[in-house]
A and B are shown apart, each in its own frame.
Chain A
Amino acid sequence: MASLKDLRARISSVKNTRKITSAMKMVAASKLRRAQEAAEAGRPYAERMERMLGNLAGSMVGQAGAPKLLAGTGKDAVHLLVVMTADRGLCGGFNTNVARNARNLIKDLQAAGKQVKVLCVGRKGRDLLKRDFASLILQTYEGLTRRGATFENADMVAQKVLSMFDAGEFDVCTVVYNKFQSAIAQVVTRQQLVPFPVPAVAANTNDAAGKALYEYEPSEEGILADLLPKNVSMQLFSALLEGDASEQGARMSAMDNATRNAGDMINKLTLVYNRTRQAAITKELIEIISGAEAL
């Protein structure tokens, strides 16, 4: 049995831990609100861009002049994965979930004989993947969401992806990230960036005669050539926003759990402490009494 002094030290250390975790929970909660607002504010742009692109892409599909970003390179030998995780830990299963999903995807692709390249956004993703796939990781971006996710940061990653695509370094690009559902639920999502997956609805409405005929300035190809790279940036940006909100949500619930566990532990330890103290007092009394009786 631990001595009283040990127990006291233990209790006070758990109390300190609880203070830290509850402070972290509070910080995460306030960051979550901001990240959530940012994620929601970014949605209109993404929605409208998707609508435009759906319209355009629907009419371009199957045509010879379609840009490569839309039609693909005609092969799928080399896959590029963009893995979006947090820079920091202590957020429950957030990073491991993404990493596990990415790892499964890499293994599947490799089993199918494809070549895989990885871009890590967020330090934790690299830490988790480098044990198995160190040679596949091309680059790691850190601190992209430190002051909230910005479009410039997402654009930086997008430019890298686009320049690699132009150089013919990969055929298919997929981003793996946590989609924000609520503060306690994040869903690991895979989304294909390149070639652009034409929404099924848009492709269908193309046949219908009722579809509005757009005029294009300068031309369909010209607009597409502009819009497709923008779309890559935008998709990455929204993944970054969703990831940031998810991270804060995950951290908040992880820290909430930790705080509750620390509370339970303090209760248990206090109980043991009190029992031990009482036992010691009783023992001393017995000693005194039996000493007095012996006289």
Chain B
Amino acid sequence: MAETLEFELVSPSKLLISQPVEMVVVPGSEGNFGALPQHAPMLSTVRPGVIDIYQKGAVVNRIFVAGGFAEVTETRCTVLAEEAVPLADLSRDAVQARLTAAREALQEADQPLEKAQAKNRIAVAEAMLAALS
């Protein structure tokens, strides 16, 4: 059996996944990176996108995360996500509705802070759509 990496996916409300995996591919802000055992320690920000979990050379789980942080050490990969949903649980209609709502929020926003938040939501929804197609 190959070496495994302890993968942890945590959202503010709970610990979503904590299991040994062969490899994970994380959407880093400067490009996707795969984390295998014995990876050099690194810290990265995560852009909205899909995390792929590999077991025995095949993808077994795909999870959408709406941005966050990833910490990789030789034996562990921790992803702190603001929001995380298994890709299978996302429906195109719901995401489309979310995108529309976010766009409307941007139109109505008049303060810089609200605008930034709405833009962020649009980016997340667009990334969800891209992940689905």
B14, B41, B43 interface centre (most CB from chain A within 10 Å): B43
* In the complex, B28 has a CB within 8 A of chain A: yes
Interface window among B4-12, B55-63, B85-93, B94-102: B4-12
* In the complex, A213 has a CB within 8 A of chain B: yes
B80 adjacent to A52 (CB under 8 Å): yes
Q: Given contacts A41-B14, A151-B13, are A217 and B8 in contact (CB under 8 A)? A: no
Distance in angstroms from B72 CB to nearest chain A CB is: 9
Query: Which residues between 11 and 34 of chain B lie within 8 Å of chain A, taking CB atoms?
Result: 11-15, 28-30, 33
B15 adjacent to A218 (CB under 8 Å): no
A45, A163, A227, A234 interface centre (most CB from chain B within 10 Å): A45
A41 adjacent to B43 (CB under 8 Å): no
Interface size on A, residues (CB 8 A): 29
B15 adjacent to A44 (CB under 8 Å): yes
B45 adjacent to A41 (CB under 8 Å): no
Q: Given contacts A49-B80, A159-B113, A226-B69, are A214 and B42 in contact (CB under 8 A)? A: yes
Complex CA distance for A227 and B97, rounded to whole angstroms: 29
A216 adjacent to B14 (CB under 8 Å): no
Q: Given contacts A44-B15, A163-B113, are A217 and B45 in contact (CB under 8 A)? A: yes
* In the complex, B108 has a CB within 8 A of chain A: no
B10 adjacent to A217 (CB under 8 Å): no
Complex CA distance for A142 and B71, rounded to whole angstroms: 36
B11 adjacent to A215 (CB under 8 Å): no
B residues less than 8 Å from A67 (CB atoms)? none
| Partner among A55, A150, A151, A234 whose Cβ is within 8 Å of the Cβ of B43 | A55
* In the complex, A56 has a CB within 8 A of chain B: yes
Chain A facing B: main interface SS: helix
B residues less than 8 Å from A212 (CB atoms)? 41, 73
| Partner among B33, B43, B80, B82 whose Cβ is within 8 Å of the Cβ of A214 | B43
Distance in angstroms from B14 CB to nearest chain A CB is: 4
Closest to B78 in A: A48
Complex CA distance for A222 and B30, rounded to whole angstroms: 12
Complex CA distance for A226 and B80, rounded to whole angstroms: 12
Closest to B18 in A: A44
Distance in angstroms from A23 CB to nearest chain B CB is: 29
B residues less than 8 Å from A213 (CB atoms)? 41
B28 adjacent to A217 (CB under 8 Å): yes
Q: Given contacts A42-B12, A48-B78, are A217 and B43 in contact (CB under 8 A)? A: yes
Q: Given contacts A42-B12, A218-B29, are A56 and B80 in contact (CB under 8 A)? A: no
Residue contacts A-B, CB under 8 angstroms, 22 given: A41-B13, A41-B14, A42-B14, A44-B10, A45-B80, A48-B10, A49-B69, A49-B80, A52-B71, A56-B43, A159-B117, A213-B41, A214-B42, A215-B40, A217-B28, A217-B30, A218-B45, A223-B43, A223-B44, A223-B45, A223-B69, A237-B12
Interface of B with A (CB < 8 Å)? 8, 10-15, 28-30, 33, 40-45, 69, 71, 73, 78, 80, 82, 113, 117
Top 7 A-B residue pairs of the complex, sorted by shortest distance between their CB atoms: A215-B42, A217-B44, A41-B14, A44-B15, A151-B12, A212-B41, A45-B10
Interface of A with B (CB < 8 Å)? 38, 41-42, 44-45, 48-49, 51-52, 55-56, 150-151, 159, 163, 212-218, 222-223, 226-227, 230, 234, 237
